[in-house]
Structure 1
């Protein structure tokens, strides 16, 4: 089966890195990492020795894991004494993804696996996962095709006088009916997202916790992100920024709709976003330096007189123009200042030049691309152009 072959290659790549770092093995506990290497998201622990066959230990559900897992040696989770005998030996160095490991879990491992040295392999793991196989690229491409179908339907279900949350609910309903799983997994601590966000006019200028250009008002202080109960006003840009998730793989897209007429300032900002996308995508090749692509985008924004509102409200701007996507929304690489690393072929990146215009709201574009020697390969095929919608009072 294709996924089993994928998992075998992934584990072999991890073992190669363990050998290079002189580590005796790795323990994989985080659910999405477990799915990546073992093919099941059930609650458990994967032991990957430096060489030889991995061992998957499942707490719950063992039955489901047996149906799904790509690991041949799969067992019920053992007692603490048995675990000590199964995972490494005293004196060995064992890798952990410390970027997501709770301290309580680390204390437990130190107790049940004494005299082992635990080493952070977060960077190794994230770099391995950032480079997608053709199998993974096709998963993201499929998600992009499905999400593009929903974007194309927006003029059919939009009605003048709708609230942001009304239109968001209609969009999310159609996406779910097309099979999107809805889980938008994020690795960063304290970040969360409910499928996406839909904001219109001044709602887009509301600052917030979310590490992106736009947060929106949300529905309460407990959920301060995304669509609000505000009515979508005529002649104001409406940004629909959504993910779709299929077989765990995420695509990320944004499109602009305007009920009524497009203000010249909005059109100027949008044309600038398209130019940023065009130039960054042309440079999205193996060996390109991520931070230099951010500098390129920032320079285009500045030359257009839009530098102060690029990627967020002044003073709270996001410091990136693109982010890796895959099984998580915030994968590597990041096209950001200080991220001075070369891109690799088949890394998949959402490029999202956006502007927060005072008096108008958000304007921009977002598509997901694969790094390629010929420049970025588009994985989200919906038309980029602004779509005009009926203004308030016009017949739908």
Structure 2
């Protein structure tokens, strides 16, 4: 049993759980080394108190799970079977408390698991699992750095192709082609390329509108490499963007630098958000900083922690997250500068290396 699995069984003991169901595919990968997207089919890592863990997978994943999983016991179900009826006799009896991932278990599956276990109580595992994942191992950091290097190379090689007349979706297509060519499994989220006023939409959707001279161009992208994500944003000037947009850019850059400078073990995540927000508010743009300042990432593009002003949890060495303050002005546009950082024993290491000074393209 690997170290991570030992911690999971210690959690069962500490919380007096009779069984735990890990159902998020990325979390199953974290504990076992096996990853698959089961789509609508039920899949779980099952840990029964006093017994060895087992994987319960759709039959089409059985061979792969047996080949790569660190859990040796694999059970499977066919499409024509009710998976819960197959699972029930594998659990044994006497289950009073079961652990689940509330955020990743829909109501139908929750009721099915309660029925086959006869459990009297379900306990959310997420508050206990988050601390396990938030501190990255040396091996995880190496992989994350590879993912960061990949997306930075994608952006670097795509920039020379960007000029007025090229569309947002043209750029997205070029970037996602390069991701695969450079060894990524694919984008870690929908690649975001937003020009002009659309750059002021924090979650805008790229379209067929052409890039124009005098606009801001925001590129937010990341990749998965060996299961781990990267996430970087840079905002560029297409020609001369004018005084106001330059002021906005400088305000966001200072917020980014102030936030990173505040990173060290023992401070709160909320203080990082406050450092970024103060830098932007002091320049008169506080009302346009409408997002949180960052988020954790790793096996998923969004993991604990959420970096907002109310988060009083403390930073610790080995935590990895984004620093991404932004200004989003309707009718004008937006600027976001996003770095990936890791908390060190004495402060912070910035993992992203792509230049942050305002770059004019086209």
TM-score when normalising by structure 2: 0.90
Q: Per-residue deviation at 1:336? A: 0.5
Instruction: Give the SS at the match of 1:382.
Output: coil
Report if the CA contact (8 A) 2:262-2:275 is conserved: no
For 1:1-396, list aligned pairs within 5 A: 8-42=2-36, 43=38, 44-50=43-49, 53-60=52-59, 61-77=61-77, 83-87=87-91, 89-115=93-119, 117-182=121-186, 184=188, 193-194=189-190, 196-206=191-201, 214-216=202-204, 226-310=205-289, 317-318=290-291, 320-390=292-362
Report if the CA contact (8 A) 1:91-1:117 is conserved: no
Cα gap change, 1:120/1:328 in structure 2, threshold over 3 Å: closer, same or farther?
same
Q: Deviations over 1:203-223 (max 9, x none)?
A: 1235xxxxxxx122xxxxxxx
Q: Per-residue deviation at 1:96? A: 0.4
Report if the CA contact (8 A) 2:265-2:346 is conserved: no
Task: Name whichever of 259-268 and 130-139 sits farther off.
Answer: 259-268
Instruction: Give the SS at the match of 2:104.
Output: coil
Report if the CA contact (8 A) 1:15-1:51 is conserved: no
Instruction: Give the SS at the match of 2:2.
Output: helix
Distance 1:376 1:261 in 2: 34
Distance 1:370 1:387 in 2: 25
Report if the CA contact (8 A) 1:204-1:215 is conserved: no
Q: Per-residue deviation at 1:342? A: 0.9
Q: Per-residue deviation at 1:116? A: 5.1
The aligned length equals 352
Report if the CA contact (8 A) 1:163-1:232 is conserved: yes
Instruction: Give the SS at the match of 1:58.
Output: strand
Q: Per-residue deviation at 1:267? A: 2.4
Q: Per-residue deviation at 1:24? A: 3.0
Structure 1's unaligned 5+ residue stretches are 1-6, 185-192, 207-213, 217-225, 311-316, 391-396
Task: Name whichever of 51-60 and 240-249 sits farther off.
Answer: 51-60
Q: Per-residue deviation at 1:240? A: 0.7
Q: CA RMSD in A?
A: 2.1
Cα gap change, 1:90/1:247 in structure 2, threshold over 3 Å: closer, same or farther?
same
Distance 1:231 1:302 in 2: 32
Distance 1:240 1:38 in 2: 34
Instruction: Give the SS at the match of 1:127.
Output: helix
Instruction: Give the SS at the match of 2:11.
Output: helix
Q: Per-residue deviation at 1:28? A: 1.1
Report if the CA contact (8 A) 1:344-1:371 is conserved: yes
Instruction: Give the SS at the match of 1:237.
Output: strand
Cα gap change, 1:197/1:85 in structure 2, threshold over 3 Å: closer, same or farther?
same
Q: Per-residue deviation at 1:232? A: 0.9
Q: Per-residue deviation at 1:45? A: 1.9
Report if the CA contact (8 A) 1:98-1:122 is conserved: yes
Distance 1:112 1:375 in 2: 49
Q: Per-residue deviation at 1:137? A: 1.4
Q: Per-residue deviation at 1:355? A: 0.9
Distance 1:378 1:10 in 2: 27
Distance 2:54 2:66 in 1: 13
Distance 1:135 1:52 in 2: 29
TM-score when normalising by structure 1: 0.83
Q: Deviations over 1:28-73 (max 9, x none)?
A: 1222221111111234321124566322222231111112211122
Distance 2:156 2:357 in 1: 11
